[in-house]
Amino acid sequence: MPHEVAQKDRAVILFESEEEDVWHVEEMCELAFTAGVDVVGRFFSRVRRRPGQPFISAERAADLHHDVLESGANVLLVAEDLGPTEHSELQQEVGVRVVDRTQLILDIFARRAHTKEGKLQVELAQLSYLLPRLAGSGSQMSRLGGGVGTRGPGETKLESDRRRFRRRIGALTDEIELVRKHREVARTARRKLPFPSAALVGYTSAGKSTLLNLLSGSQVPADSRLFSTLDPTTRRVVLPDGWGVLVTDTVGFIRNLPHSLIAAFRATLEEVQLADVLVLVVDASHPNRDDQIDAVRDTLAQIGVHDKPTVTVYNKSDLCPDTYELRRLVANDPLSCYMSALRQDGVPHLIARIRAAVESLLVPVEALVPYERSDLVSLCYDCGRVNSAEYTEQGVLIRADLALSFAAHLTPYLLGQSPEAG
């Protein structure tokens, strides 16, 4: 019996308008590539879509159907998010599987999820997406078979009714809440260590994982494809003077990140919310760099992250021929720098910026620590900057700038004001 090789999906991508931004077109093609789909055609529904108009007219839908048949595509990727009715009607018009942008991103996340937490979060997001699309289309959806947009838990649940979906969504929500509590226990234990924390945030493929590997000497998987990191990874990074910071690599953001994913990944995104410092990693070579920064900041605003010290790193400087533009980018922000994580250029500048951001969180402390608590003296060197240590008959007189979270441990031995007052 001959060996059967699974056929890759072949897709035509449907864009809303010929005025679509080139970046949006290329990004959708890159999403398809990441999902393992061969793009065999592009189709624009109209020159310009006016408010109130359907996503695609009947005439253009007939043209699209012809293009799909002629290209031999077995899936239509839509570069926008479709409502349940739009999705069902478009699928009837073109006669092949229809996958919108959110569904495509969910499919990629299903591929990338390896840990139990990641799989739970992706499944919750997929079922939340599918639930409103069950009415009137359940039988069609159950016949879709394998392929992009059907991967992961969705393909085993499509024949379930709404009640079964809601019951599973409830169970997943409970499981994720347990994961969140376990993560909080681990985080609490970690925060007992005298190290401040930083979270790497940025647009997908900006180079966060490569940067974490460079800073920490670890081997976190790094991939040029979108969303290479799904589960957060924390490593200790040693700064000058011997003290360190806990740095967490987080899931990459993308413009119009589906709300279902933001909700499902709440436990993971708490790493960003609770970090002391943010390190915003930017692909300096990307032509839509500023738009990507805006997309990241919009997502951070959605999860309620405000007023944290932020180091902005313009990565991939080796791909930028205009060094004047790089210097201009960092000229007015003392907590910014440019570098190439891949070529390991500019690391001292980044370390200096992270150190400055962490130092902005330190408070001056003067304490007389008894000799039986000499462990606290040692920890002072790890969690801040010791300016002097004088050994007296009563104990060690420490003058230091310390992280506020650790300075509280010295409260019984303080001389003068409390750390909070400093």
In angstroms, the Cα distances linking 385 to 169, 262, 358, 377 are 48, 37, 11, 11
**Residue 14's beta-bridge partner residues?**
43, 78
Give the three-class secondary structure for 263. Answer: helix
- Structural domain tally of the chain? 3
Query: At which residue do the structure tokens 């478009």 appear?
Result: 90
Taken in order 113, 116, 83, 23, the sign of the CA dihedral is: negative
Q: Are residues 185 and 197 in the same domain?
A: no
Q: What pLDDT is stored for residue 170 in this prediction?
A: 92
Q: What is the CATH number of the domain that holds 60?
A: 3.40.50.11060
Task: Find the domain containing 381 and state its range.
Answer: 362-413
- Write down the pTM of the prediction: 0.79
Provide the pLDDT for residue 289. Answer: 94
Residue 41 is encoded by which pair of tokens? 């055609």
**Contact between 194 and 382 (Cβ < 8 Å):** yes
- Model pLDDT, residue 402: 85
Residue 238, judged by CB atoms within 10 A of its CB (0-12, 13-18, 19+), counts as middle
CATH number of the domain that 227 lies in?
3.40.50.300
pLDDT score, position 296: 93
Predicted pLDDT of residue 192: 58
pLDDT at 136: 45
How far apart CA 197 and CA 355 sit, in angstroms, is 12
Last residue of a domain, one of 189, 207, 233: 189
Question: Residue 139: what pLDDT?
Answer: 41
Could you tell me if residue 421 is inside a domain? no
- The residue among 157, 189, 221 that closes a domain is 189
List of the chain residues with pLDDT < 50: 1-6, 136-145, 155-158, 421-422
- Sheet of 233-238, strands arranged across: 233-238, 244-249, 197-202, 277-283, 310-315, 336-338
Model pLDDT, residue 143: 40
pLDDT at res. 380:
84
- Listed in sequence order, the residues at least 6 apart from 63 whose beta carbon sits closer than 8 Å to its beta carbon are 43
Residue 407 has what pLDDT?
84
pLDDT, residue 193, reads: 60
- Written as six digits, the tokens of 395 are 């104990």
- In angstroms and rounded to an integer, the radius of gyration of the C-alpha atoms of the chain is 26
Tally of CB atoms within 10 A around 243: 22
